[in-house]
């Protein structure tokens, strides 16, 4: 089973996530997005909440065209424009699939950054097969579909294919 998501649906889910977080009353001074899936969500939330965005890169899908999970690697450093990481953090990703990434990042961040006093997680999709339960989610997916996101067209599009795609 699979779920195909359009840009309009993706943007609406992101806005609904922002509203859920806002209505929860959780106050944070830093957003950390997990790259690459959480980049777009983190960017939009950072704009809506007028909160600095930090980017933490992870990598785990190593083979099978990005469908087979390998060893999880968490980048040693984060990219951010603020001089130091905030104390109250909203950790953002697009989805909780297996849950292993968020589980490990939630465990690792306070060890690396002991100034973190509070942290909550926010995702668009939470799959039933996950070992991790996010604090905020927009859609719960009990049947664990493969999610086809609108930007995945770029996974296989190369510069040589742009002319044909653009009709130029």
Summarised one tens digit per residue, pLDDT across range 26-38 is 999 999 999 989 9
CB 147 within 8 A of CB 95: yes
pLDDT in the model for residue 73: 81
pLDDT in the model for residue 116: 95
Report the distance separating Cα 25 and Cα 74, nearest Å. Answer: 29
State the DSSP H helix or E strand holding residue 7, giving kind and residue range, or none if neither.
Answer: helix 7-24
Tell me the CA distances in angstroms from 102 to 23, 82, 145, one per residue in order: 23, 23, 19
Report pLDDT digits (tens) over 116-150. 999 999 999 999 999 999 999 999 999 999 999 99
| Full residue range of the structural domain in which residue 60 is found | 2-166
Report the distance separating Cα 93 and Cα 57, nearest Å. Answer: 11
pLDDT in the model for residue 70: 64
Say if residue 80's pLDDT is above 60.
yes
Per-residue DSSP letters for 92-103? E-SEESSSHHHH
**CATH number, domain containing residue 81:** 3.40.50.2020
Q: How many domains does the chain have?
A: 1
Q: Provide the CA 131 distance to its chain's centre, in angstroms.
A: 16
Say if residue 68's pLDDT is above 90.
no
Residue 76 pLDDT grade (very low, low, confident, very high; cuts 50, 70, 90)? confident
Strand extents, DSSP E, the chain: 2-4, 30-35, 53-63, 68-74, 79-80, 88-92, 95-96, 118-127, 136-141, 146-148
Length of the chain, in residues:
168
Report pLDDT digits (tens) over 97-119. 999 999 999 999 999 999 999 99
Token look-up 């609904």 returns 16
pLDDT in the model for residue 74: 80
Report the distance separating Cα 141 and Cα 144, nearest Å. Answer: 6
Predicted TM-score (pTM) of the model is 0.89
């Amino acid at each position: 089973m699979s779920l195909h998501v359009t840009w309009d649906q993706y943007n609406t889910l992101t806005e609904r996530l922002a509203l859920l977080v806002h209505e929860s009353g959780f106050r944070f001074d830093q957003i950390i997005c997990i790259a690459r899936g959480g980049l777009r969500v983190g960017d939009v939330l950072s704009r809506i909440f007028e909160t600095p965005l930090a980017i933490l890169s992870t990598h785990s899908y190593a083979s099978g065209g990005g469908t087979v999970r390998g060893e999880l690697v968490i980048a040693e450093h984060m990219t951010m424009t603020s001089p130091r990481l905030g104390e109250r953090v909203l950790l953002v990703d697009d989805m909780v699939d297996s849950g292993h990434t968020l589980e490990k990042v939630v465990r690792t961040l306070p060890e690396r950054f002991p100034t973190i006093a509070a942290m909550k997680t926010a995702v668009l999709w939470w799959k039933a097969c996950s070992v991790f339960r996010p604090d905020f989610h927009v859609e719960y997916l009990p049947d664990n579909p493969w999610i086809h996101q609108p930007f995945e067209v770029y996974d296989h599009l190369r510069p040589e294919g742009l002319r044909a795609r653009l009709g130029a």
